[in-house]
Amino acid sequence: MKIICDKKHISQKVTICQKAINNKSSNDILKCFLIQAKNGVVKLISYDLDMAIETTIEAQIIKEGVIAVNARLFGDIVRKLPDTLIEIEIDLQNNIFIKYENSKFEIKGHSPDEFPKLPEVKKNNLHSISQNVLKNMIKQTVFAISQDSTKQILMGELLEITNNKVSLVAIDGYRLAVRSYSINKNFDDIKIIIPGKNLNDLNSLLSTEGVVEIGFDDKNAIFIFDNIKMIIRLLEGDFIDYKKLLPREHNTKIKVNTKDFLNSIERASLLSQSDKNNLIKLSIREKIVAITSNTDKGNVYEEVQISLEGDYLDIAFNSRYLIEGLRNIESEYIYLEFTTNINPCIIKPIEDIEYNYLLLPVRITSN
């Protein structure tokens, strides 16, 4: 194999593919990229057995071929090269020669026959969605997945398509984030569970323009966009019936400016930033919500103007969970709906955005 390509371009593609490299594996081939020059196209492929990434490289093909190369070593070399054209050549012993200007590297490659075969996902029934929409859907939910490795299913997100609506759902046992988006086409109902780690990787590659095509089978999901193909192995099991967790009625409802509320919560939480003591209390009255925190470091009191419907209420929350939810709501004003101080609170934007953030309170003693 022999190709000539621009250093900047291949460096960008290397960064993309390194997201599907398992540097902790004892199997050296899983630490490798596959560089393939065939039929006029140069591809860079990585696969860690949970996620595969395939992208194309703009290059001149002098001679076709394929090689596996250590991703970290190859990436470090390419990124350190000057901004110029580089030549990559492979000999019969799988040695890789990287030439630029008057210099060259020679590194050892691996037989491409050792590289695992990528899963095949049918691409004849793909769903299209705006990259920007999917990016926001992931951002507004993925932070709420579980970090408990004993709850594998909750370390993923439910992707559900039903009634011309696509939804992403994350639950960690203390909160629930649901972001939905209406679609115009009629699709078969779908329920799959995608690992949260891989959704974060996907989110980092999505742009704010263009579309992403999505397909599924029993074991994998495929995402195609911007000359990138990403295949993610799905989690097996049944997701929680999240719709049963969403309250259908409330006794107290407030409307509040999102930024003002968030800023006050963040200031109040300065005294409670620890795993053992991160409690803040909300006291909802006629026109204000009082935000308090009492710790061994001191006390804080904040007031935010609100519009109130229903009963007065005193309720407490884990400040970190509340802050993370508020930071991911893209709305100038929000509603908070409460039933009692021991039942979940629902936070939702006032704008026409289908987003619900459910948060369990912390029990407190009423005075």
Residues 262 and 351 in one domain: yes
Please indicate, yes or no, if residue 192 is contained in any of the structural domains.
yes
Q: Are 293 and 319 within 8 A, CB to CB?
A: yes
pLDDT digit string, tens, across residues 30-61? 999 999 999 999 999 999 999 999 999 999 99
Residue 345, pLDDT > 60, answer yes
Residues 178 and 206 in one domain: yes
- Bigger pLDDT: 239 or 275? 239
Q: Are 274 and 253 within 8 A, CB to CB?
A: no
Please report the pLDDT score of residue 183 as a whole number.
83
Examine the fold and report which residue of 220, 244, 268 is the final residue of a domain before the chain moves on: 244
Residue 277, pLDDT > 70, answer no
Residue 367, pLDDT > 60, answer no
Residues 57 and 70 in one domain: yes
Please indicate, yes or no, if residue 364 is contained in any of the structural domains.
no
Residues 40 and 134 in one domain: no
* Confidence bin at 273 (pLDDT 50/70/90): low
pLDDT digit string, tens, across residues 188-204? 788 999 999 999 999 99
Q: What is the CATH number of the domain that holds 13?
A: 3.10.150.10
Interval 245-267 mean pLDDT:
95
pLDDT digit string, tens, across residues 108-121? 999 999 999 999 88
Residues 305 and 254 in one domain: yes
SS3 112: helix
Please report the pLDDT score of residue 168 as a whole number.
97
Please indicate, yes or no, if residue 119 is contained in any of the structural domains.
no
Domain count of the fold of the chain: 3
Examine the fold and report which residue of 244, 278, 308 is the final residue of a domain before the chain moves on: 244
Residues 135 and 239 in one domain: yes
Half-sphere exposure at residue 80, Cβ-oriented, CA atoms within 13 angstroms = 11
Residues 188 and 255 in one domain: no
Residues 252 and 240 in one domain: no
Please indicate, yes or no, if residue 366 is contained in any of the structural domains.
no
CA atoms of 318 and 18, how far apart (whole Å): 36
Which string of DSSP letters, residue by residue, matches 319-357?
HHHHHHHHHT---SEEEEEES-TTS-EEEEESSS--EEE
Averaged pLDDT of the chain: 93
Please report the pLDDT score of residue 271 as a whole number.
82
Q: Are 247 and 344 within 8 A, CB to CB?
A: yes
Residues 136 and 203 in one domain: yes
SS3 361: coil
Please indicate, yes or no, if residue 365 is contained in any of the structural domains.
no
The 10 Å CB-count burial string (b at 16+, else e) for 87-103 is: bbbbeeeeebebbbeee
Residues 103 and 160 in one domain: no
- Bigger pLDDT: 296 or 331? 331
Residue 130, pLDDT > 60, answer yes
Please report the pLDDT score of residue 125 as a whole number.
76
Residues 24 and 92 in one domain: yes
Please report the pLDDT score of residue 229 as a whole number.
96
Please report the pLDDT score of residue 295 as a whole number.
83
Residue 287, pLDDT > 80, answer yes
Q: Which domain holds residue 294?
A: 247-359
Examine the fold and report which residue of 244, 259, 291 is the final residue of a domain before the chain moves on: 244
Residue 124, pLDDT > 90, answer no
Please indicate, yes or no, if residue 254 is contained in any of the structural domains.
yes
Please report the pLDDT score of residue 275 as a whole number.
56
Q: Which distant-in-sequence residues (6+ apart) come within 8 Å of 341 by Cβ? A: 313, 314, 315, 316, 361, 363, 364, 366
Residues 236 and 220 in one domain: yes
Q: Encoding tokens for residue 366?
A: 């009423």
